Each structure stands twice: as C-alpha cells, then as structure tokens.
Amino acid sequence: MNPLPDLEAWAIFAKVAEAGSFARAAEALGLSQATVSKAITRLETRIGTTLFHRTSRRMSLTAAGEAALERATRILDEGEAVEAEVVDRSTTLRGRVRMAAPMSFGVARLAPLLPDFMRQYPEVELDVQLGDAQVDLVAERFDLALRIATLADSSLRARRLCQVRILLVGAPAYFAEHGRPKHPRDLAHHRGFHYSLARGGNGWRFRHQRHGEFAQTVPWALQANNAEVFATALRDGLGLALQPEFLVWEDLRDGRLETAMDDWQVEPIALHIVTPPGLRRPARVQRLIDYLAERLQREPWATGGDSRND
C-alpha cells in the first residue's frame, strides 16, 4: 500500500456522501462522473471494504462509510480552507514579505522608503534582514533581495534598477594637506580606507578612456566590512576611499567631500531586485517590488534607468 493516504479520494467520498449521488458530487466538484466513480472504487480497493450500498434506485453509506464520514468531511473542509487561505494571501495585500538588503544601503536608502509603503498597505508585514553577506534566497526563504553587484548567472530572477557609480572621494582638508591625486599611481603615497569585502584585495582598479586600465595597491589606514564606517574619518580629512555614490552624494552636494581623478573611473555596479525562481509571486511581494523599483529609480544618485530580465 502507498504510505501516503489518498486524500483526494477521501475528499471525493465526503462530497458524494454530502450530495447523495455520484452525479451531483461530480457536478459540485467540476469533475466527470467517471472520475468520481473511479476515485471511490480506488479508495474501497485500498481499504478493503465498501463505503456505499449501491442499487439502481438509491445509494447509502455502509457501516464503514458511516464511521469514516466525519473524518473524511474534515479532510475536505481543511483542504478547501487551506486552499482558500493560500489563494487569498497570494491575491490580496496581506501577510509577511521577507527581504534582504546590504547593510549600508538598507540603512541609508531603503529604510526611509518603508514608512510610505507601510502606510499604504498596513496589513503587509515587512521582515527586513540587513547584511553584506549574500544570502541564499531559496534556502533561507526570502521573497526578494536588493543586491548591488555585477550579478553572476544563476536561476534567480533579477530586475536591474539602476547603475551605481563608485567614486574616489576625500575631504577638502585632506586634499589641501596631501594634494589631489591625478593618476592611480599617485595613490601609493596616500592613505586609503579599504572595504574588506571588495573584490581584488587592496588593489584599486581604474579605467581611463585613452590610457586603459591601471591597478594600484593603496596603503590603508582603516579597513572595514561596511563602507559607512568610513564616513566620519572621510569628512575629518583622514584619508581617501572608493565609495558608492548613494553613500556620499549628499556630502558631495554640500561640499563636505570632493571627488578626485574624475577622468579615471571605477567599473560601475548596478542595483538589482532579485527573487527566487518561478513565475508566480504573491501580490504583496509584487507590489513591494514595484514600489521599490519606482522609488529607487527616482533617487538623485541613480543613473541608467530600468532594465527588466525577470
């Protein structure tokens, strides 16, 4: 015997008992009468006893059928209830959305966007997990993640929102004391702040339109696995750093920081929304994705527009 119970057949049995005939049960379930009849026969064969007395004029439950009816009805009711609940949750804006984002971006740019969404959709529960380590969306059951990177090929679905420039920045006081580098090789004589999760180790790689690529190892005075750690030391004129524009655009606007070597560019990265594989998403997840995409693309540091590949 199959170790799994034949839940479909038990549910059909309950509906037949309720309707009083195979024909009426088939109509209520949207099945053919033959399918209903085969399900009952399959169930009776499995349990080794009959569930209905059948004559040409009427049908009634056997003693075994009477004994099984209450629990079979419960199976049918629970199945209908769980299906209705799942459908309701997938089509209405209610329930939990579990989301991951990088720490600095989550605090500086994502967090200010959440209150408006929460006011619009008060029955959606947001579970936001911040960290610079890349999470496994499927294994850890995340509905979506924001990723700022050049994405590797994977089974995940990705929606590119915008480009994120990486800028070499320092305070006016730093440049006044140490000079402003004009070529990557000049950085060998400067103090750098190093993001320890960056690819390439201590080497900073730049590209020039005419001179091509140039990589330079920069002596570092401060190293951290979160780029926000550098903010105060940068403003105090204690060193230089390669920073994503979303972290420094206000300091640049207000003159607390300045860029250097503008003709030498670091390869930009991009902001993506990634989701697990599969074509269907609950309505609450899709609404949050659309909301974040619309809001983040209007950020003053965002360039490059929207590109969909999901």
Mean pLDDT over 284-288 rounds to 92
Q: How far from each other are the two terminal CA atoms of the chain, in whole angstroms?
A: 43
Handedness of CA 182, 184, 188, 194 (dihedral sign): positive
Global pTM?
0.65
Q: How many helices (H) and strands (E) does the chain have?
A: 10, 16
Using an 8 Å Cβ cutoff, are 212 and 73 in contact? no
223 bridge partner residues:
194
> Is 88's pLDDT higher than 90?
no
Buried b (16+ CB within 10 A) or exposed e, 278-292: eeebbbbbbbbbebb
User: What is the rounded CA–CA span in Å between residue 129 and residue 283?
Assistant: 21
Q: Give the residue, 267 or 183, on which the prediction is more confident.
A: 183
User: What is the rounded CA–CA span in Å between residue 73 and residue 79?
Assistant: 10
Q: What percent of the chain has pLDDT over 90?
A: 55
**Would you place residue 76 in the very low, low, confident or very high pLDDT band (cuts 50, 70, 90)?**
confident
**Would you place residue 90 in the very low, low, confident or very high pLDDT band (cuts 50, 70, 90)?**
low
Give the pLDDT of residue 1.
53
* CATH architecture assignment, domain 7-91: Orthogonal Bundle (1.10)
Q: What percent of the chain has pLDDT over 70?
A: 92
Contacts 24+ apart (CB under 8 A), 81-89: 89/282, 89/284
25-62 pLDDT tens trace: 999 889 999 999 999 999 999 989 999 988 877 888 99
Residues of the chain within CATH 3.40.190.290 domain(s) are 166-265
- Where residue 144 falls (left for φ over 0; alpha for ψ -120 to 50; beta otherwise) is beta
Fold of 95-164+269-308: D-Maltodextrin-Binding Protein; domain 2 (3.40.190)
What three-state secondary structure class fits 136? coil
Residues of the chain within CATH 1.10.10.10 domain(s) are 7-91
User: What is the rounded CA–CA span in Å between residue 27 and residue 163?
Assistant: 56
**Would you place residue 139 in the very low, low, confident or very high pLDDT band (cuts 50, 70, 90)?**
confident
Which of 95-99, 102-106, 208-212, 303-307 shows the lowest mean pLDDT across its residues? Answer: 303-307
Give the pLDDT of residue 87.
67
Token pair belonging to 127:
């579970």
Radius of gyration of the CA atoms of the chain, in A: 31
195-213 pLDDT tens trace: 887 766 668 999 998 888 9
Count of C-beta atoms within a 10 Å radius of residue 295:
17
- Which CATH code for domain 166-265? 3.40.190.290
Give the pLDDT of residue 121.
93
| Polymer length in residues for the chain | 310
Which of 51-55, 119-123, 164-168 shows the lowest mean pLDDT across its residues? Answer: 51-55
Residues of the chain within CATH 3.40.190.10 domain(s) are 95-164+269-308
